[in-house]
Amino acid sequence: MKKIIILLLISLFLTGCGTHSQNDVINDLDKKISNNSYNLEGNLEIVNNDEVYNYDISVSYKKPDSYKVTLFNKANNHEQIILKNSEGVFVATPALNKSFKFQSDWPYNNSQIYLLQSIVSDIKSDEKREYKETDDGYTFITNVNYPNNRKLVKQEVSISKKGKIKEVKVKDENNVALMTMKFKNIDFNPTFKKDYFNLNTVMETVSTKEEETINLEDSIYPLVLPSGTKLKDEEKVAKTDGERVILTFEGEKPFILVEETANVFDEFTVVPTSGEPYILQDTIGILGDNSLSWTTGGVEYYIVSDVLNQNELIEIASSISSLPTMK
């Protein structure tokens, strides 16, 4: 009888200290994140071919629908801010003293590696997700929703024993991590001033150091072109503050690529635009149905085509280096 009681006690003890089910982990995460505003800091690494781009990222979220995401590129000190408030979605570039304004569903229209609720949503919505308990926490492998980047197919989410998201890796079909977000600090009890998510307030609190002016003495060519497409024409136009280059490509999938010296506005300017914010290697661009524009290295780029889809636009843009290359 005594042996039976001991076995029962051991069984109860092991049950109480046993593994957490994935539903337990998900419910704990969902409850914590859905019920709280937060501040977080972390590092984002993006891999494109042989290039690696690193960002310092800070995120502020205030229930129910205010976001401020600051991305600081470590290589070139380029800072941009994605802001969502009651007036819309903005992408501000302090160095150029301007911001684009979007009528957008961001951040709900696709996965976001640096937003906690997006990560949890991906976990919850994937009924075929993989789950395992490790020595120091829990791991989920789920599908992701990046409709504009077909290379990104799944993510690996690492969670601590205390229920905090530690790291997210978004991978391709070969299990290679193309984006890695490491979360350093997460505060679920932040205090925000009244105008914290106001665009003008945001711009007043950041540096507006001017971008270096670039002279486009040499055109900058994409290293990747659609099959059957080649450069047809190249036109250089002088601007008041720099140059503009117009490259026309013809063939099966024609497009136009415009490159010009980025201008710094004397007064802070908001430019209405259509499209969606898109992180393109070392900067945040504007992705439309048939166009993609971005600024990096003191140069503004714009690709437009009637026949290229968004994935093809991104592939061409991702092959353009800020250094002049041969045709």
| E strand or H helix at 315 | helix 310-318
Helices and strands per DSSP (H, E), number in the chain: 5, 19
Strand order in the sheet with 229-239: 229-239, 242-251, 255-261, 299-304, 291-296, 283-287, 276-280
pLDDT at position 12, please?
45
Neighbouring-strand partners of residue 319: none
Per-residue pLDDT, averaged over 296-322, amounts to 91
Q: Is the pLDDT of residue 100 over 50?
A: yes
Per-residue b or e along 105-134, where b marks 16 or more CB atoms closer than 10 Å to that residue's CB: ebbeebbbbbbbbbbbbbbeebeebebebe
**Overall average pLDDT of the 86-95 stretch:** 95
Backbone angles phi, psi at 38, to 5 degrees: -160, 160
Closest CA to 42 of 156, 167, 184, 188: 184
Mean pLDDT of the chain: 89
- The model's pTM: 0.88
Could you tell me if 241 and 213 are in contact, meaning their C-beta atoms sit under 8 angstroms apart? Answer: yes
pLDDT at 327 over 80: no
Beta strand segments in 63-120, E: 66-73, 78-85, 88-93, 98-102
Q: Which pLDDT does position 3 carry in this prediction?
A: 53
- Cβ pair 70, 55 in contact under 8 A: no
- pLDDT at 74 (0 to 100): 83
pLDDT digits (tens, 9 = 90+) for 153-176: 999 999 999 999 999 999 999 999
Q: Omega into 107 within 30° of 0, i.e. cis? A: yes
Mean pLDDT of 21-38: 93
pLDDT tens, position by position, 229-250: 999 999 999 888 889 999 999 9
Domain 22-204 has CATH 2.50.20.10: yes
What is the average per-residue pLDDT within 189-210?
87
SS3 9: helix
Per-domain residue ranges for the chain? 22-204, 229-261+288-318
State residue 207's pLDDT score: 63
